[in-house]
């Protein structure tokens, strides 16, 4: 990637990365706003998605019955296979109007002093992008986490039970701290 980016680096220099100007008339381009948006929306998505994904993975691998494990596991795998463009269109046509009409007015009233929740109420923004990304990555993280939890040796769980651990303690000690 570094080698293939040479034409861009030679024409624009490193200012392309550290500048937020975007003026095609003056031939000045900067990617800082795009990099910032990617990082912030990804952090929001991970904050939302990780607890849900780990909860689903632990539930499916440790607590769910056979029928529920099979059914919900199948649904998670199907959701993980949905193309990202579908999530994007769903977000644009369903989530954006919902955020604009219901969620953002409330958030602006109560948390408007935080820059993430202030600004024009048009429904698009970092929070909406983060929610769409979270919905998109939750099934993938759940499926991978479930497979990782299944790979932990059963003897590790049994050792926690032998030491007198409850189910939750065994999950916390044997699964979440497994090495």
Domain that holds residue 17: 1-30
Q: Looking at the predicted structure, is the pLDDT value of residue 27 above 80?
A: no
Identify the pLDDT of residue 64: 85
Summarised one tens digit per residue, pLDDT across range 62-113 is 888 899 999 998 999 999 999 999 999 999 999 999 988 988 888 888 887 8
Does residue 48 share a domain with residue 22? Answer: no
Number of domains making up the chain: 2
Does residue 143 share a domain with residue 90? Answer: yes
Please calculate the CA angle 162-165-167 and round it to the nearest 5 degrees. 110
Q: Looking at the predicted structure, is the pLDDT value of residue 122 above 90?
A: no
Q: Looking at the predicted structure, is the pLDDT value of residue 131 above 90?
A: yes
pTM, 2 dp: 0.80
Does residue 127 share a domain with residue 89? Answer: yes
113 within 8 A of 21, measured Cβ to Cβ? no
Neighbours of 99 (CB within 10 A): 22
Does residue 62 share a domain with residue 25? Answer: no
Summarised one tens digit per residue, pLDDT across range 55-74 is 999 999 888 889 999 999 89
Does residue 58 share a domain with residue 21? Answer: no
Q: Looking at the predicted structure, is the pLDDT value of residue 39 above 90?
A: yes
Does residue 55 share a domain with residue 74? Answer: yes
- The stretch 145-156 carries a mean pLDDT of 86
Q: What is the domain-level CATH number for residue 63?
A: 1.10.3720.10
Does residue 97 share a domain with residue 25? Answer: no
Does residue 111 share a domain with residue 47? Answer: yes
Q: Looking at the predicted structure, is the pLDDT value of residue 178 above 70?
A: no
Q: Which helix (H) or strand (E) holds 129?
A: helix 126-151
Does residue 89 share a domain with residue 26? Answer: no
């Amino acid at each position: 990637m570094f080698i293939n980016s040479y034409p861009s680096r030679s024409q624009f220099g490193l200012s392309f990365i550290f500048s937020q100007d975007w003026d095609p008339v003056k031939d000045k381009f900067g990617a800082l706003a795009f990099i910032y948006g990617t990082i912030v929306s990804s952090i929001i998505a991970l904050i939302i998605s990780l607890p849900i994904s780990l909860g689903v993975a632990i539930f499916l691998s440790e607590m769910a019955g056979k029928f529920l494990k099979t059914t919900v596991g199948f649904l998670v795998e199907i959701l993980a296979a949905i193309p990202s463009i579908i999530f994007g269109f769903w977000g644009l046509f369903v989530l954006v109007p919902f955020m604009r009409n219901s969620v953002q007015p409330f958030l602006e009233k109560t948390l408007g002093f935080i820059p993430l929740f202030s600004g024009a109420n048009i429904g698009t923004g970092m929070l909406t992008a983060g929610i769409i990304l979270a919905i998109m990555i939750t099934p993938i993280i759940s499926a991978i986490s479930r497979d990782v939890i299944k790979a932990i040796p059963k003897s590790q769980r049994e050792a926690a039970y032998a030491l007198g651990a409850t189910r939750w303690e065994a999950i916390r000690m044997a699964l979440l701290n497994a090495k």
